[in-house]
Structure 1
Amino acid sequence: MAVDAPISDLKRRARMISTLEEITQVATFFANGEHEIGELIATAMERIGKEGIIIVSDESTLDNELEVVEGKRMKLGRGYMSPYFITNKKTQKCELQNPLILIYGKEISTFISIAYMFELVEKESREALVVAADVEGDALNLLFLSKNLGVSEQVIYKYPKRGNVNIEMFSTVKKLRTAMEKSDTMFERERAQERLSNLSDVALKVGGASKAEVGERKDMVEDALNATRAAVEEGIVPCGGVGLLYATKALENLQTQNDNQNQGIQNFQNAIKVLFLGIFFCQLIFRDLIAN
């Protein structure tokens, strides 16, 4: 209740952005004022659309650049993790029929991480595909043992470490797959399938004078990209932290059922004001730097 009110107020005040110029301005702001980075982010988003993948990667040069890979040429870059998981000895391929798919954003090393998947595999008598940054330790031994005992077929796909493509790409694919499953008409399913097959891949390559500089700039560009995408999706609120201050007023007229709820709302209201004050005092302290 206390969370929904200020969020609704911020959404009401938000202004949507869509033009290349607007996105460039927002991206430049999030990129600490670097107009070149802002332009690259905006151009990348324009080139690939909402379903495309933007990868932020290291570059061993001083320059920053974009590289576009069209959807039908986009490849994952790797196959199965180990030949041990081959299901078709003749073709040397891993072939699974209607498998359960586990997508994990980190390395898997413990049994606990995949325990629930094994429960579903046994319950539904299905095969399994594990997609992760890496699989090792007890988790890998368990998968090997399960396959050796003939419990079920499993395949591990270790995705390539290419910037932020990994989770973003699989998240996009999941959304499109879900859209296909929930579509009521053949036209909608075919449209989602077409978008899935035409996913584009844009590499935003970050350069610098040293490895340390490239690493810092890469982190900055990734943060700017994520913030810009959020701004395009949900809009921006002018005047910075002032929007937070206005949002606290949405809590003043909330009806509560007891004193504890009322105290909770007041605490939440004060917490939001602290965020505003933090931004305000930061601007006072660094006002000369900001002005320049």
Structure 2
Amino acid sequence: MNTLLTGAEARSKLLVGVNKVANAVKGTFGPNARTVIIQNPMGMPVILNDGVTIARAVHDTDPYVQMGIDLLKEVASEAQEKSGDGTTSATLIAQTLCNGSLSLMENGISPLVIRDMFKDLLEKTETYIASTVIEDFDLTAVATIAANNDRELGELIADIVKRRHGITIERSSTGETYVKTTSGFEMNAGYAHAVMANAPRAKCEFDNPLVLTTTEKVNTFNALVPALEIAVKENRPLVIFCPDFNPSMLQNLLVNIVQGKVSVCMVKPAGMPEQQQAWLEDTAAATASRLFKISVNESIVEVKKEDLGTCDKFVASQTNTIITLKETIELEKYINKLEDLIDDADNSWLQEQYYNRVNRLGKGISTIYVGGASELEQVETKERVDDAVNACKLALSSGVVIGGGATLFRAAEYLQDITPVNEDNIISDLFYRGLSTPLDTIVENAGKGILPQYGGIGDLDVDNTGYICGKTGEHRCALEDGVLDPIQVVLNSLESAVSIAALVLMTDAAITAPDQ
């Protein structure tokens, strides 16, 4: 087989892969979403409508087509990592932009011109979307939409997110969905490398792991060997909290993880040295682990089994970590000690720091146990719950915009109004089609009977709160119906789509690995 393709031939192969992934997820978009069944070599097939999971399941025997598939998988993964939702929207926009870009190139338009025009239009679109943000909204509506219009699930999730607890999601041992709050805390720092992820949605999950905490920078792999040997002997995973690490050390650790020799996750607390120190002290106290302090010449090389702490559950993503604990008298005493320090602090800044530490240790962790009539239903519902939790968190932090693809559609109309007529209009028109793709797909998935009613939404009302209902095809008020999307989900989806489209149109050659 030829290991090199160039020019249009290479790009056309990539496009086949792009279309394979996008067509696989297209039917799952909107309120009338359908499902996809994925073969499971270990048992029953999996039925779900989660964009990123479906994208990961798509494969092709042609390595060049597979490259296109992998590129679009990256779109879904990027949207998932940035906002935990919006993967299908990003995939569909990328498909429109990729197909249109290659058509323009066949007509003699330079890929550099197309790429630069996309970047310019992206900036203008983001500016417009930012101007439409809604800060006063019903969080339940956001959760309901993200949970595929399950109102009961949306109410449960919104109530939990409002408490601003750390949140974990587990499968219920019964058919019921319920919430249980336990002791624990959330840290705004994730794992050191994606290879450490061992669970769906790029998460690292451990039950009853050993915990090592230190204030020293981990410079060599040998420094970790004593702790790793204890973990292997105990047949338990190991979680390491440290302020920094040497990249070369990390590579050695990752090799051992890939080879299955150890189960390890390393977390570097965020912030300045003083903030890192506080996180490490709190983590050590919460997990009952010894904090090795470099300031008094303590080193993790000397670690013993009794120096390692533990927790009930450890969950880390690329950006955050959740630790679930048992309530202990020791932790309660530690929190009381921090409360005393609030009163003894010399200034308001120190008081605030101690208050924040008490607050984060005392909030607890809410676990959503997802029920279902079958294992397949539990898996599908768990994916929807995860999407809804992420959507709610982003909505609280950044606000929302009108959902149902209406905001992107209006952005296209806005750009058309302000763009002067010139030779670049053909590129602009492609970008507008990309922005309209989510709405077009929702309408298409609603059924052919609705299509005749679809005549655009720009003139629906003066305050731009209208949208097209994907169930009925009617023009309705999004605020009244609660059809809202977190603004960050919309922006991240669009940015990921434009990024991959630029990669595809700038591709001039594709090379495969030679057969062994």
Q: What corresponds to 2:443 in structure 1?
A: 280
Give the deviation of 1:11 after TM superposition: 2.4
Q: Does 1:61 align with 2:174?
A: yes
For 2:131, what is the secondary structure of its paired residue? helix
Q: What corresponds to 1:41 in structure 2?
A: 157
Give the deviation of 1:216 after TM superposition: 1.5
Q: Unaligned 5+ residue runs, structure 2? A: 1-119, 188-205, 213-223, 231-237, 263-298, 324-347, 451-468, 473-516
Give the deviation of 1:281 after TM superposition: 2.4
- Say whether the 8 Å CA contact 1:66–1:205 is kept in structure 2: yes
Give the letter for the 1:60 counterpart: S
Q: What corresponds to 2:387 in structure 1?
A: 223
User: Which residue, out of 316, 321, 336, partners 1:170?
Assistant: 321
Deviations along 1:33-53, one digit per CA (max 9) or x if unpaired, are 322211210121123x1xx31
Give the deviation of 1:192 after TM superposition: 3.9
Q: Unaligned 5+ residue runs, structure 1? A: 89-93, 103-113, 120-129, 141-151, 173-183
Deviations along 1:244-266, one digit per CA (max 9) or x if unpaired, are 111124434369xx967x76544
- Say whether the 8 Å CA contact 1:160–1:166 is kept in structure 2: no
Q: Does 1:100 align with 2:231?
A: no
Cα 1:153/1:213, change in 2 over 3 Å? same
Q: Structure 2: how far apart are the matches of 1:38 and 1:46?
A: 12
- Say whether the 8 Å CA contact 2:185–2:363 is kept in structure 1: yes
Report the TM-score when normalising by structure 2. Answer: 0.36
Q: Does 1:212 align with 2:331?
A: no
User: Which residue, out of 395, 398, 405, partners 1:241?
Assistant: 405
Q: What corresponds to 1:290 in structure 2?
A: 471
Identical residues among aligned pairs (%) = 21
For 1:237, what is the secondary structure of its paired residue? strand
Cα 1:209/1:97, change in 2 over 3 Å? closer
Give the letter for the 1:27 counterpart: A
Give the deviation of 1:199 after TM superposition: 4.6
Cα 1:115/1:249, change in 2 over 3 Å? farther
Q: What corresponds to 2:226 in structure 1?
A: 84
Give the deviation of 1:171 after TM superposition: 8.4
Q: Does 1:7 align with 2:126?
A: yes
Q: Structure 2: how far apart are the matches of 1:171 and 1:97?
A: 13
Q: Structure 2: how far apart are the matches of 1:69 and 1:6?
A: 43
Q: Structure 2: how far apart are the matches of 1:73 and 1:229?
A: 13
User: Which residue, out of 266, 270, 282, partners 2:433?
Assistant: 270
- Say whether the 8 Å CA contact 1:64–1:206 is kept in structure 2: yes
Report the TM-score when normalising by structure 1. Answer: 0.59
- Say whether the 8 Å CA contact 1:56–1:218 is kept in structure 2: yes
Q: Structure 2: how far apart are the matches of 1:97 and 1:244?
A: 42
For the aligned residue pairs, the C-alpha RMSD in angstroms reads 4.8
Give the deviation of 1:204 after TM superposition: 0.6
Give the letter for the 1:78 counterpart: P
- Say whether the 8 Å CA contact 2:207–2:312 is kept in structure 1: no
Q: Structure 2: how far apart are the matches of 1:217 and 1:80?
A: 31
Structure with larger RCO (C-alpha < 8 A, sep 6+):
1
Deviations along 1:196-248, one digit per CA (max 9) or x if unpaired, are 43352110111112212211211122122222333333333236222111112
For 1:194, what is the secondary structure of its paired residue? helix
For 1:69, what is the secondary structure of its paired residue? strand
Cα 1:86/1:56, change in 2 over 3 Å? closer
Q: Structure 2: how far apart are the matches of 1:5 and 1:289?
A: 27
Q: Structure 1: how far apart are the matches of 2:449 and 2:368?
A: 31
- Say whether the 8 Å CA contact 1:54–1:204 is kept in structure 2: yes
Q: Structure 1: how far apart are the matches of 2:368 and 2:241?
A: 36
Q: Structure 2: how far apart are the matches of 1:232 and 1:97?
A: 29
Q: Structure 2: how far apart are the matches of 1:215 and 1:138?
A: 26
Q: What corresponds to 2:492 in structure 1?
A: none
Cα 1:250/1:225, change in 2 over 3 Å? same
Cα 1:139/1:73, change in 2 over 3 Å? closer
Cα 1:13/1:284, change in 2 over 3 Å? farther
Give the letter for the 2:170 counterpart: S
